[in-house]
Chains A and B, each alone.
Chain A
Amino acid sequence: MSKRNVLLQVARRGGSFLSLAKKLWQHPKGRVGLILVSLLVLVAVLAPVLAPYDPYDVTQRAEKGLRPSLKHPLGTTITTGQDIFSMLIYGTRVSLMIGVSTGIILAFLGALMGVMAGYIGGFVDNLIMRVVDVLLVIPTLPLIIVLTGLLGRSYFVIVLVFVLFGWTGLARVIRSLVLVLKNSNYVKAAELAGASRWYIMTKHILPGTSHLIIMNTTLTCAGIMVAEAGLSFLGLGDPTAISWGKMLAEAQGGGALLFGAWWWILAPGAGIFLAVFSFMRIGIVMEEIFNPRMKASSGIYKLFKHLNNDYLDEVFDSMDDEEIADPPDHAGPAVLEGGHD
């Protein structure tokens, strides 16, 4: 493929992303999700700028257990004296990074497996599906605990397990879609013209699944963020990194409830909630956008709210027959009279 073609392809892909973003923006719920996610990304990227203190820097510790004040908007931790507000901001980095990167890897893996199983079929399909069945049975939590014991506590282990086990959901869903697409007449037409399997997979099948992949991935990211928070809470994540789950664990262990430092618990909880909420919003709105039947119901209500009744009356009145006198050249049967044709 020529360079120009590649650029055109990317432009078209990018273009479709832009148009997707535009559609999300137009939808009220989608707009909320989009804004929130952008906010989160900004916070994660600009963390050093936004956070008043660097929670990783031991020299920036303050007095332990301070209540919220102007200097420390969310107070400090009881255990180490770190500024909670800064921790909250830095925590965004961990959540988003793990959530999004794992999500993207899973998107690739799941889609690849799904398309192979669905399109190639036969033995490959059986193999992949049996692997899926086995993976679904294995309990991931004990496995993470075991591996953590072996390889030490790090996010690598968590991401590894997510990636190894998490592709099954997407693969199954993509496989179902591929089975349907495989039998489309346009695929048959391409086969008739002599298309190779590879051509059909990349030109027809894969683009046909793109909507599903994007939607599924968005929701997967949300799920991963929750899972990561939970695992960090259990102490399985990187002990040196700052994550919301770990904050919750610290808060609980450090006696936040005992001392009434509810803000220490609320902050990371709110963070988790916001992150998951925003991603899910986008995912759900995307489903509405991609599913034409659902689209009708959401867009139309808005349309009707702004409907001008006078305009409608005008439309309906224009449907009536005109009241004009019969001109001389119209020698037709008179209305409701005569007519013995």
Chain B
Amino acid sequence: MTNAVLEVRNLKVAFPAPGGVIRAVEGIDLTTKKGECVALVGESGCGKSVTALSVMKLLRTPPSVSRIDELRLDGRDLTHLPERDMERIRGKDMAMIFQDAMTALNPVMTVGKQIDEVYRRHTKLSRKQARKETVKALELVGVPEARSRADSFPHELSGGMRQRVLIALAFACMPKLIIADEPTTSLDVTIQAQVLDVLKSMQRDHDVSALLITHDLSVVANMADTVYVMYSGKIVERAAVLELFTDPWHPYTEGLLASVPRLSDDKQAFVQIPDTVPHPMHKPDGCYFHPRCSHGGPRCEQHMPRLQTLQNGRQIRCWHPLHQERVT
């Protein structure tokens, strides 16, 4: 596994609350390879954002409590790394693109200054040199008139522009891993297409590994190489993107794919998954998905299926995965 950039083993996160414990993440493993874009897909409340923050070790105790067996970035063991060393890694080797640019950017600092900061913190550049790099970074992400735009404040820029600034911030020091948490959800359709294009080309051109957190399957289809499907804190399926979309094994994945209306459809009713996601404090016995699943059996109500890994890399957590039913 020398090609691995991110290795997460057995991450568990819980949030104690009056009345119980919120089981946000229940023991997940993640790996990304160099230059690979890995997507973590799930709905709100499934624990994916918490996972992203855990990888960056940005979760505070309190309010969270987390356990992790192993966290490696490009071979380096970060599991027990003290905070001071983590600060040197964040921004330089590992960077994050947040969903909402308005809250991720400092409103009283020009965008140029914010990107300069990253350079000056992690490299030995002078102020002038850092500004040169900043302008280059802004040009790279497609901000027109980068030199003068660098002196704008975040609120003076449009949504798409701000998102590009976030991308420039993240790529500034050419990190090994970029974590993008819903990078385009709040943007308009045409702007979304632009921004994703930039992200994709940046990632591919510089061979940067990416962890893409999203609930939007269409973004996944267009950007990811490998997909992890997360449900209520657990990974229920993992597959290469093409396989996942053409041959989903987990009933939840199938339901998710079916419920997304497509332009290519002829008019049809909306396929829905009945009921809702389980409450993070009161999860059902057995498989968390079984109350909504139409493929289940008696076993599903009693025992949580184990996550099984196949040689070709596919993973599935289900007692009655779909591909078996097709074979028989």
Contact = CB atoms under 8 A, between A and B. Distances in A.
State yes or no: do A and B come from one complex: yes
Interface of A: 296, 299-301, 303-304, 307, 312, 315-316, 319-322, 324, 327, 329-333, 335-341
A341 B16 contact: no
A338 B311 contact: yes
Contact of A341 (B12, B307, B323): B323
Nearest to B297: A329
A310 to B, nearest CB: 13
Given A321-B307, A324-B303, A312 B14 contact: yes
Nearest to B17: A303
A307 B65 CA distance: 11
A338 B321 CA distance: 16
Nearest to B249: A341
A321 B27 contact: yes
Q: Across chains A and B, which 3 residue pairs bring their CB atoms closest together, nearest first?
A: A339-B310, A319-B26, A321-B306
A333 B67 contact: no
Given A312-B65, A321-B27, A337 B303 contact: no
B324 A332 contact: yes
Given A304-B62, A312-B14, A341-B323, A319 B23 contact: yes
Interface of B: 12, 14, 16-18, 21, 23, 26-27, 61-63, 65, 67, 233, 299, 303-304, 306-312, 314, 319, 321, 323-324
Given A316-B14, A319-B26, A335-B308, A341 B314 contact: yes
Contacts, number: 68
Contact of A332 (B12, B23, B308): B308
Contacts of B14: 312, 315-316
Given A307-B16, A321-B304, A322-B304, A316 B310 contact: no
B306 A333 contact: no
A75 to B, nearest CB: 51
A326 to B, nearest CB: 9
A335 B323 contact: no
A301 B17 CA distance: 11
B256 to A, nearest CB: 20
B312 A339 contact: yes
Contacts of B309: 335-336
Given A315-B21, A315-B23, A320-B27, A301 B62 contact: yes
